Structure 1
Amino acid sequence: MTTLMTRQLFDAQTWSLLAFGKRSRTEHGFGWLDDVGSIAAERGVQLWITGRMTHCFALGHLMGDPDCTVLSAHGVACLLDGPLRDDDTAAWLCTVNLDGTPQPGPLRAYDHSFVILAAASARMAEVPRAQELLDAALLAFDRLWWDEAAGMVVDSRNRETLAVDDYRGANANMHTVEALLAAYSATHDPLHLRRAARITGRIAHEVVTHAFRLPEHFDDSWNAVLDYNRDRPTDAVRPYGSKVGHWLEWARLMVQVRVACTAVGIGYDPLLDSLPTGMYRKALQEGWGADGEQGFVYTVDFDGYPVVRERMSWVLCEGISAAETLRQITGDNSYEHDIDTYAAWAREHLIEDPGQWRGELDSQDRPISAAWSGKPDIYHALQAMLIGRLPITPSLAEGLLRTGASPA
Structure 2
Amino acid sequence: MTLITTPPWLGLPTHRAWLDDQINRLVRFVQGSRLEAGGFGYLLEDGTADLTRPRELYLNCRLTHVAALAYMRGIPGTAHLIDHGIAAITNDFHDRANGGWFSALEPAGGPIAGRKAAYDHAFVLLAGASATEAGRPGGRELFDSAVAVFLKHFWDEEAGMSRESFAWDFTDSEDYRGANSNMHLVEACLAAGDTSGDAVWYDRALSMADRLINHAARERNWFLPEHFDTQWNPRPEYNTDDRAHPFRPYGSTVGHWLEWSRLLVHIEASLASPPAWLREAATALFNHAITFGWSVDGHDGFVYTTDFEGAVVTDVRMHWALCEGIAAAALLGAVTGDALYEHWYRKLWDHAARYFVEQERGTWKHQLAADLSEAGSVWPGRPDAYHVLNALLLPQLPAAPGAATALARGLA
Which aligned segments of 4 or more residues in structure 1 are displaced greater than 6 angstroms? Answer: none
Which residue matches 2:109?
100
Residue of 165, 170, 183 corresponding to 1:156: 165
**Shift in Å, 1:394:** 3.5
- How many residues get paired? 400
Which residue matches 2:259?
249
Contact 1:390 1:403 in 2 (8 A): no
Q: Which amino acid aligns with 1:103?
A: I
Which residue matches 1:118?
127
Which residue matches 1:73?
83
Which residue matches 1:35?
45
SS at match of 1:307: strand
Q: Which amino acid aligns with 1:235?
A: H
Q: Does 1:277 align with 2:286?
A: no
Q: Which amino acid aligns with 2:387?
A: H
Residue of 276, 288, 295 corresponding to 1:289: 295
Q: Aligned equivalents of 1:29 and 1:383: distance in 2?
A: 22
Q: Aligned equivalents of 1:161 and 1:282: distance in 2?
A: 38
Structure 1 residues 239 and 155, CA gap change in structure 2 (3 angstroms): same
Q: Does 1:216 align with 2:223?
A: no
Which residue matches 1:361?
368
Which residue matches 1:398?
405
Unaligned 5+ residue runs, structure 2? 1-8
Q: Aligned equivalents of 1:154 and 1:269: distance in 2?
A: 25
**Shift in Å, 1:42:** 2.5
**Shift in Å, 1:275:** 0.8
Q: Aligned equivalents of 1:377 and 1:293: distance in 2?
A: 24
Contact 2:56 2:103 in 1 (8 A): yes
Which segment is superposed worse, 66-75 or 214-223? 66-75
Contact 1:201 1:271 in 2 (8 A): no
Q: Aligned equivalents of 2:47 and 2:201: distance in 1?
A: 36
Which segment is superposed worse, 6-15 or 138-147? 6-15
Q: Does 1:258 align with 2:265?
A: no
Structure 2 counterparts to residues 8-407 of structure 1, below 5 A: 8-26=17-35, 27-81=37-91, 83-160=92-169, 162-204=171-213, 205-262=215-272, 265=273, 268-352=274-358, 353-405=360-412
Deviations 1:91-138 (A, max 9, x none): 100000121321111111000100110010111111111110001001
SS at match of 1:195: helix
Which segment is superposed worse, 331-340 or 370-379? 331-340
**Shift in Å, 1:53:** 0.4
Q: Aligned equivalents of 1:161 and 1:389: distance in 2?
A: 40
Contact 1:155 1:169 in 2 (8 A): yes
Cα RMSD, aligned residues only: 1.5
Contact 2:24 2:75 in 1 (8 A): no
Unaligned 5+ residue runs, structure 1? none
Q: Aligned equivalents of 2:200 and 2:411: distance in 1?
A: 27
Deviations 1:324-363 (A, max 9, x none): 1101111113212211111111111112342121110000
Contact 1:92 1:107 in 2 (8 A): yes
Structure 1 residues 269 and 42, CA gap change in structure 2 (3 angstroms): farther
Q: Aligned equivalents of 1:160 and 1:400: distance in 2?
A: 37
Q: Aligned equivalents of 1:36 and 1:45: distance in 2?
A: 18
- What TM-score do you get using the length of structure 2 for normalisation? 0.94
- What TM-score do you get using the length of structure 1 for normalisation? 0.95
Deviations 1:126-162 (A, max 9, x none): 1111110001001010111101111000111122462
